[in-house]
Amino acid sequence: MNATTAQPLEANAVIDIRALHTRFGKAVVHEDVSLTVRPGEIFSLVGGSGCGKSTLLRAIIMLLQPVSGSIRVFGQEVIGLGDEKALPLRRRWGVMFERGALFSSLTVAENVAMVLREHTQLSAALIDEVAALKIALTGLPADAGAKYPNELSGGMRKRAALARAIALDPELLFLDEPTAGLDPLSASGIDELVKNLRDVLGLTIMMVTHDLDLLWRTADRVAVLDKGHILGIGSMNELSRLDHPLVREYFYGPRGRAAREQAWKKK
Amino acid sequence: MTALQIAKLVIETDTASVPPSINVRCAGAWTVRGIAPVEQQLTDVSASSARELVLDVSAISALDTAGAWLLHRTMHMLAQRGVKARINGLRPEFNTLLQLIAARAETAEPVAPVRVGLLASIGQHSWRSLLDFSGMLAFIGESALVLLRSLARPHRFRWRPVLHNLQTAGFEALPITGLLAFLMGVVIAYQGADQLQRFGANIFIADLVGLAMLRELSPLLTAIIVAGRSGSAYAAQIGTMKISEEIDALRTIGVGPQELLVLPKIMALVIALPLLTVFADAAGVLGGMIMARSKLDVSFDVFLDRLGEAISMSSFLTGVGKAPVFAVIIALVGCFQGFQASGSADSVGRQTTVSVVQSIFLVIVADALFSVVFNWLDI
């Protein structure tokens, strides 16, 4: 299934979260959240604004310390992990932030190349070529590489951020709202891209999204989060049969229905 | 790094055939972290004189986009030199990856950075300086217009930001200004004490400290501190607002950024800087006075008596009178440089630096002009 890694994964799950509790001061963000992400799947977190989706993502990528519980990534506990030990882990995943978070003083190509320069011993020429390749893989035109992030449109910036996230050919890719703020055409481009990356590179992808079209088209499994609890985990079809008022509203509201019909037509 | 994670290469040259053919056996993990050792080898091989070359990739255990690119680029280079090259033993899943790379390769040209010649660079630099200068003039004009408009409608004037700026740029600068002026007074008195003692002119220490501090050093010192403290803050604040489009947001709401951001800052500094200067005068004289007593045995009473005779009202006023001009320079330059920021976090840093350097430079130039003018007027 996973074409890029020769070694079998130590534990089967890529991400394994057990009984996670997170708090900001007195506000409880997560209460007893447990989920697993299997190798090679596209796993998505959904839920209303402020339900703790992005916070969960930030906890997994070690930007935030949970109160209790366990998060294992590639079989390694990440809570309380020192920087030294976190580095090998960080090299195995790529993160695309919601607003891109591209380094504004570097061109797009330099943004991608910087990651390669930090973590590989390749020659400068090869690094430039690989960076250009990653930029092309995300569907950006070649001249975008020489531009600075502030010269790009929102959609192009997202693609550039994705190019940087996949610079090191990570085994695991985190996408925070990959289609937010994009026009429908660019958004469906991202759909294709996410699917392609998984199919060709054998990536495991965990994403946070509101985009129902993206969910229907790409997600293998989806977890619905509400007020710090998980309401359900399953494929979109399974979830759409779930009998919870919030989930029903999510899937059978006007937008949910349209996206579902679209998805059926495509199939 | 274990052996499994490194790419390996064995090159076998078949010398029996003429011209020689090469068989390259690839093994190991051809991944972004593994291919560094074989990169040079592959480049050498593709530059050799062989007419035929076979890449045997059946032993490759892992392949990612970087590895696939290396294979693709080697094949491409060989093909360009007219070498018959083929890949043997490619696994089907690797083949899809290689095809994807090949499909995208045409658009994946690294863009060479644009190099600028010396002459062009000088030209660009001069042009930018010229633009900067005309921009500054336009900014001053715009600010003046906004000021006039505000004066016409005083009830709409924003006092809140003025008070806030008075607090941050004025009141909060008191300790540092006081301390530095005090130390400056001490230093002047200390340096002067030796010379004055030699002539038995101890009492003139009051003239020395008083004139030096009140006329020149206090206004200059205060202006430089405020330029570093507040001018830079103005540039950084406005610059950050500029790149996060907050300035544009203000415009769309119908609030002039000049009116909200620049005018209150100028007003506040014009009020705060003279007050700070007076405070620095007092602190500097105090420093000199303490030094005079300990080094020259000039008591406080005697010192203050002499100070009253030595310092005329005009000396005091020329010092304090310079402060509002310095204030306008500092606030205008800080705000203007903030508005010049564009795009990156880098540019905010650059404009902040420029604002401090430029405002200190202009303050000193203005101070020199004042000296010349006062000399003419015989003040």
The tens place of each residue's pLDDT in chain A, 267 residues long, gives: 333 333 333 357 888 888 888 888 778 888 888 888 888 888 998 887 777 888 888 888 888 888 888 888 888 888 888 777 888 888 888 888 888 788 888 888 889 888 888 888 888 888 888 888 888 888 888 888 888 888 888 888 888 898 898 888 888 889 888 887 777 777 777 888 888 878 877 889 999 887 888 888 888 888 888 888 888 888 888 877 777 777 777 777 766 767 777 766 665
**Residue type at B283 in one-letter notation:** A
- Say yes or no: A10 contacts chain B, CB-CB below 8 A: no
For B128, counting Cβ atoms within 10 Å of its Cβ (0-12 exposed, 13-18 middle, 19+ buried), the class is: exposed
Q: What residues of chain B lie within 8 A of the CB of A151, using their CB?
A: 343
- Secondary structure E strands in chain B: 7-14, 21-30, 52-63, 84-88
Please state, in angstroms and rounded to a whole number, the distance separating the CA atoms of residues A259 and A254.
Answer: 9
pLDDT at A139: 82
Q: Which of A4, A120, A134 sits opposite B62 (nearest CB)?
A: A4
Q: What residues of chain B lie within 8 A of the CB of A137, using their CB?
A: 65, 100, 104, 108
- Secondary structure E strands in B48-150: 52-63, 84-88
The answer, yes or no, to whether ipTM is higher than 0.90 is no
Q: Which of B36, B93, B113 sits opposite A120 (nearest CB)?
A: B36
**Residue linked to tokens 């209150």:** B264
Please state, in angstroms and rounded to a whole number, the distance separating the CA atoms of residues A143 and A149.
Answer: 13
Q: What is the pLDDT of residues B71-80, one digit of tens each?
A: 888 888 888 8
pLDDT at A154: 80
pLDDT at B18: 65
> Predicted confidence band at B292 (pLDDT cuts at 50, 70, 90)?
very high
- Average pLDDT of the residues in B275-285: 96
pLDDT at A137: 83
Residues of chain B with a CB closer than 8 angstroms to some CB in chain A: 4, 29, 31-33, 35-36, 39-40, 61-66, 69-70, 73, 93-94, 96-97, 100-101, 104-105, 107-111, 113-114, 243, 342-347
Cβ neighbours around A18 below 10 Å, total: 13
Q: Which of B39, B64, B347 sits opposite A123 (nearest CB)?
A: B39
Chain A, nearest residue to B244 by Cα: A150
Q: Which of B63, B69, B342 sits opposite A133 (nearest CB)?
A: B69
pLDDT at B68 over 50: yes
Q: What residues of chain B lie within 8 A of the CB of A2, using their CB?
A: none
- Specify whether the CB–CB gap between A202 and B68 falls below 8 A: no
Tell me phi and psi for residue A77, to 5 degrees: -70, 125
pLDDT at B294 over 70: yes
Chain B, nearest residue to A136 by Cα: B108
Q: What is the pLDDT of residues B142-161, one digit of tens each?
A: 999 988 988 888 887 788 88
Tell me phi and psi for residue B54, to 5 degrees: -120, 125
Q: How far is A30 from chain B (nearest CA, A)?
A: 31
Q: What residues of chain B lie within 8 A of the CB of A168, using their CB?
A: 32-33
pTM equals 0.70
Least confident interval from B22-31, B47-56, B131-140, B206-215: B47-56
Answer whether A169 sits within 8 Å of B35, measured CB to CB.
no
**Residue type at B281 in one-letter notation:** D
> Predicted confidence band at B2 (pLDDT cuts at 50, 70, 90)?
very low
Q: Which of B64, B104, B111 sits opposite A169 (nearest CB)?
A: B64
Chain B, nearest residue to A135 by Cα: B108
For B155, counting Cβ atoms within 10 Å of its Cβ (0-12 exposed, 13-18 middle, 19+ buried), the class is: exposed
- Say yes or no: A155 contacts chain B, CB-CB below 8 A: no
- β-strand partners of B122: none
Q: Which of A6, A150, A166 sits opposite B29 (nearest CB)?
A: A6
For chain B, which domains are there? 3-105 (3.30.750.24), 137-377 (no CATH)
For chain A, which domains are there? 15-266 (3.40.50.300)
Angle at the Cα of A222 (from A220 to A226), degrees rounded to 5?
175
Answer whether B70 sits within 8 Å of A126, measured CB to CB.
yes
- Specify whether the CB–CB gap between A42 and A48 falls below 8 A: no
Q: What is the pLDDT of residues B159-196, one digit of tens each?
A: 888 999 999 999 999 999 999 999 999 999 999 988 89
- Say yes or no: A142 contacts chain B, CB-CB below 8 A: yes
Chain A, nearest residue to B32 by Cα: A168
Least confident interval from A178-192, A252-266, B200-214, B242-256: A252-266
